[in-house]
Amino acid sequence: MNPKGKLYLIPTTMGEMNPEDVLPILVYRTVELINTYIVENDKTARKFIKSVQPSKVQADLKLSLLNKRTEDSELQAMIKPCLNGENIGLMSEAGCPGVADPGAVIVKIAHENGIQVVPLVGPSSILLAMMASGMNGQSFAFNGYLPIDKSDKKNAIKNFETLSHSKNQSQLFIETPYRNNKLMEDLVVFLQPNTLLCVACDITLPTEYIKTFRIADWKKIKVDLHNRPTIFIIHKM
């Protein structure tokens, strides 16, 4: 019986940049050795692979798509090569797979099938934002996307503010990039003047913008976050 292959969690860049600026050599070596991948988008995955291993033959790559349209019945087949002794690479669209990313379900299936999971070091927007925020790195929570409905969104923001104060726990969340500016407008209206807000935008990119101010100060600041990946962190002291 062949030994099982491993599932490698391969980080990617978080935008248009030189991969050498953020990815360690082990990522390059791993991509060089693996031809079977589970990815969110075929085109961007191939572009990333080419950026770290230009000599790799694209025709040799076997890519399975994992996104919101993927059926549960397809997942087991994606991991099957590992059961046959082949290593698989799991990649996110940006940053680290499995964190705020659909790849987590593949990692779960790998564990259920006794497949070794190997996480590789790379950029995580959540951790980098926390590192640079000056907020409570001992206790924080990532809450994903806020509700779209205005009333529900307001309640969520107020609840996170209350939670940050009662638990002394920094609260992180994100928005669809084209709605970032509207969310920023809502935050300065709904939050208390002394509540801290960190805006971490375009992390690791040349246009990176990371600032932490009180809401009272943010009201005097103009920043354009439209279509720029952004992490928002709030903490009421």
List the pLDDT tens digit at each of the 237 positions of the chain: 679 999 999 999 999 899 999 999 999 999 999 999 999 999 999 999 999 999 999 999 999 999 888 998 899 999 999 999 999 999 998 899 999 888 999 999 999 999 999 999 999 999 999 999 999 999 999 999 999 999 999 999 999 999 999 999 999 999 999 999 999 999 999 999 999 999 999 999 999 999 999 999 999 999 999 999 999 999 998
198 lies in the same domain as 216: yes
Please tell me the pTM assigned to this model.
0.92
- The domain boundary, picked from 64, 86, 119, lies at 119
Instruction: Give the helix ranges, DSSP H, for 90-220.
Output: 104-112, 125-133, 150-167, 180-190, 215-218
Q: Render 190-205 in DSSP notation, one character per residue.
A: HS-TT-EEEEEESTTS
- The domain boundary, picked from 119, 146, 172, lies at 119
Task: Tell me whether strands 88-91 and 36-39 are parallel, antiparallel or unpaired.
Answer: parallel
| Tokens (6 digits) for 144 | 């994903």
Look at residue 160 and tell me if it is in a domain: yes
164 lies in the same domain as 62: no
Q: Which CATH number characterizes residue 139's domain?
A: 3.30.950.10
132 lies in the same domain as 188: yes
Look at residue 2 and tell me if it is in a domain: no
Domain that holds residue 101: 7-119
92 lies in the same domain as 169: no
Look at residue 59 and tell me if it is in a domain: yes
103 lies in the same domain as 160: no
- Alpha-carbon separation of residue 145 from 3, 7, 101, 108, 173 (angstroms): 40, 28, 12, 22, 6
Structural domain count, the chain: 2
68 lies in the same domain as 170: no
70 lies in the same domain as 139: no
